[in-house]
Structure 1
């Protein structure tokens, strides 16, 4: 077993896309939007601030003071909705380093998080947060070093642009790729580069092929992919464990159970992300 100072663990706090979907039919997989925590060595890395970030924040209140690094793929609502409700950000003594890709119009990640907390959308401004918040604008293909952790970034195929992240520590790699749409005639080289020989690949598989190509309500151009395309990436990149992520809000628990059975028939080392799931890379792959 890895020690707290020498660990590489992933925990899922929000696994949905588009909009939160709480209810009796989403109990097993969860209804919160995207938020994934990685405990890597002594560092806490948080990927996206969907509504799952609120639940993560509540769990951290017993660990004050807290330091963390928060990486945003992009600023669509389902990836930033939880930030105004992230309780540790309101508490003096905590510190968060916040990273994101500038928007096509030039808006920084700080500006976009600030703007969602302005009237009439929210009652209190970002400035009321008393934690020390440091903001960093990053670009695709930029490499970020945090002590012995290497974080590589790559451009994803999504309206308004998005970033994928590859986290490597002591020879182990976990990759977070959401939201991205596959190309019709080839695999995305950016995605393949990030996923190459990763132990764990977390990837956007919002739709099934049937939904994506539905002649009455096509999802082509919506910025998301299918589990079938996720399998193609995992096979080509020689990934050890494939984690299907960013579940469509209309996919209730029984639907996701069916998808799980289907994907494991063609890729046995595939699982579906669900709230509370923990993957210990040191224990499973080292």
Structure 2
């Protein structure tokens, strides 16, 4: 399936963290876990395979054959649990290159996707997938070049290790920075590097400061950040559009509305990720770009 060579299109298929949370109180923002698709020039890039990737897969069935690149930040369950339900991976003629960092115990991204589909946890093995799947283990800090699309990487602060991505194309840039926890005394240099002057930054904002520092149920050390810290990153890195992402499953639509209001006061160019939301980056000159946001 051919892509428009002159567009940088971002779509959100899953915006939650930790566990899916469908229900009457999460309809507006969505309940599926992390999955973001970027159509950049001639490349289809998919970031994480949470439950949102199932819906993405259904949308691709009318566009066969499909080629794409799937980038995993890490292999915690909420980021890989949708991959066994990604229908295009079962269809011959499709081709996906799959990237991730090895786990601290040395397990490759292929091994971890394979292991979650073994009995007794899943009825069919990875080998039943009939698309051409190629697996690549990344070194943190390396860059990937896909024709005219450059993808930078850096280490994120998360238990068991995670990797962040920055996508550069024709003077436009977007960063995908989840899951990561801020440091108590400084801004994370790796996060700042990937976010620098970016047109869009999609960033972990799981908690509020009050939740993170709650003396009765502290979230310190859990590997996630707050919307207040995300704003600090956006201000320091000169970010054009901040997208708060990886919403806590306990945050219903009304709670997220309130976060959005407060965050927009602190950094006007802030939105909260919603399932179905799309961002189109539009080059207006070699030096500048505009963006449009739509809920589809």
TM-score range, shorter chain: over 0.9
Cα displacement (A) at 1:147: 0.5
Tell me whether 1:169 sits opposite 2:169 in the alignment.
Answer: yes
Tell whether the 8 Å contact from 2:172 to 2:283 is kept in structure 1 after alignment: no
Aligned equivalents of 1:239, 1:48: Cα separation in 2: 23
Aligned equivalents of 2:31, 2:197: Cα separation in 1: 30
> What CA deviation, in whole Å up to 9, does each residue of 1:169-198 have, x standing for no partner?
000000000000000000000000010000
Tell me whether 1:149 sits opposite 2:125 in the alignment.
Answer: no
Tell me whether 1:258 sits opposite 2:278 in the alignment.
Answer: no
Cα displacement (A) at 1:5: 1.6
Aligned equivalents of 1:283, 1:27: Cα separation in 2: 33
Aligned equivalents of 2:13, 2:139: Cα separation in 1: 26
Q: Where in structure 2 are there 5+ consecutive unaligned residues?
A: 291-296
> What SS does the corresponding residue of 1:96 show, helix, strand or coil?
strand
> What CA deviation, in whole Å up to 9, does each residue of 1:142-177 have, x standing for no partner?
000000000000000000000000000000000000
Question: Which position in structure 2 is the counterpart of 1:236?
Answer: 236
Cα displacement (A) at 1:140: 1.0
Using the size of structure 2 for normalisation, the TM-score is 0.95
Cα displacement (A) at 1:283: 6.1
Question: Which position in structure 2 is the counterpart of 1:48?
Answer: 48
> What CA deviation, in whole Å up to 9, does each residue of 1:73-110 have, x standing for no partner?
00000000000000000000000000000000000000
> What SS does the corresponding residue of 1:154 show, helix, strand or coil?
strand
Question: Which position in structure 1 is the counterpart of 2:293?
Answer: none
Cα displacement (A) at 1:120: 0.5
Aligned equivalents of 1:195, 1:43: Cα separation in 2: 21
Aligned equivalents of 1:24, 1:261: Cα separation in 2: 22
Give matches, 1:207-218, under 5 Å.
207-218=207-218
Question: Which position in structure 2 is the counterpart of 1:32?
Answer: 32
Using the size of structure 1 for normalisation, the TM-score is 0.98
Cα displacement (A) at 1:139: 1.2
Aligned equivalents of 1:251, 1:57: Cα separation in 2: 26
Instruction: Count residues in correspondence.
Output: 284
Q: Cα–Cα, structure 1 residues 283 and 30, in superposed 2: closer, same or farther, change >3 Å?
A: farther
Runs of 4+ off more than 6 Å? none
Question: Which position in structure 1 is the counterpart of 2:122?
Answer: 122
> What SS does the corresponding residue of 2:19 show, helix, strand or coil?
coil
